[in-house]
Amino acid sequence: MTFRHVAVGVDGSVVAVRALDWATEEALRRGTALRIVYAVTDRDEAGPVLASAAARVHQRHPDLPVETRAVEGGTVRAMARESERAVLTVVGTRGLGGVTGLLVGSVSLRLAAHAHGPLLVVRGDHPCVNGREVLLGLESNADADAAAYAFQEAERRGTRLRVLHSATHRHITSETHRHITSEPPSLVPVVSPDRQRKARNHRAEEAVERFSIARLREECPEVDVDSRAVRTGLAHALLAASSGAGVVIIGAHRRAGRLGPVAHTLLHHSHCPVVLVPTA
């Protein structure tokens, strides 16, 4: 049994087949095995579904190591356990937005609040292929792991990384902030104190973001990075950008076992699959 694998949950539905196909490509991209999991009340019920899923993978990729596993109990608990040893856990969602998305996407929402590692929730109809940019949303300095994952994902896919970060993102010391915002002497009179303040804040916001991913840029110099601050809602900016992305990556901010608003918005309405990386 391998502990370096991509895990995917299946149940025989069309949505699960899409998740299976994504998980297969993710395993191939990482050079890992694939574990197909079916959570059921009776293990005897899992045989045909797991056999069909494994056959689909073997037919397309005969050299990919595949393991099937039937587990008793609820899907959320089963996949949360699987996420402890998987490099990536993949599930599908039937959520189409609006009320429907809120109701039928509850499994992926609950799993996102309890997964121990990166969780890929398959949304939208984009195929799992290289070419589309990787989208990263940064809310705070707690998103360091999500940023690292996004750089690695862009490197694996050989595509551009687009970073959107909140304009309220702060994680440097006040001394550094004073250094960044200091104004050099100028012979040009300041037209407006308000404009001067806004200019200082703008430079600080950009510098903060550059500071937060500077090390990752050095470690992955081949990744083309497009980074910008978002002065409106980060969730809606990511949602709009997700229509052109192959995958969107965010930190899974959890409070009292619940996800934050950015994750909620993307899991219900994103145009592409969403990866949630646990935050510190």
Does residue 44 fall inside a structural domain? yes
203 in the same domain as 108 = no
Whole-Å CA distances, 266 to 19, 27, 117, 130, 233: 17, 24, 18, 21, 13
> Distance (Å, rounded) from C-alpha 79 to C-alpha 56?
21
pLDDT averaged per 10 residues, the chain (length 280): 79 90 95 95 87 97 96 90 95 56 59 93 73 91 92 94 78 33 43 56 46 80 91 91 94 83 90 91
CATH number for the domain that contains residue 134 = 3.40.50.12370
121 with 112: CB under 8 angstroms?
yes
pLDDT of residue 207: 42
Chain centroid to Cα 43, Å, comes to 31
Same domain, 79 and 108: yes
Structural domains of the chain, count: 2
145 and 168 inside one domain: yes
Say if residue 150 is in the same domain as residue 106: no
- The amino acid at 72: E
Task: Answer yes or no: do 108 and 166 share one domain.
Answer: no
Domain assignment of residue 174, given as a range: 126-183+190-245
> Is 211:147 a contact under the CB 8 Å cutoff?
no
Instruction: Tell whether 138 and 49 lie within a shared domain.
Output: no
**Contacts of residue 156, Cβ cutoff 8 Å, sequence gap at least 6:** 29, 30
One domain for residues 130 and 208: yes
* Shared domain check, 118 and 156: no
pLDDT digits (tens, 9 = 90+) for 112-153: 888 999 999 997 666 666 678 999 999 888 899 999 999 999
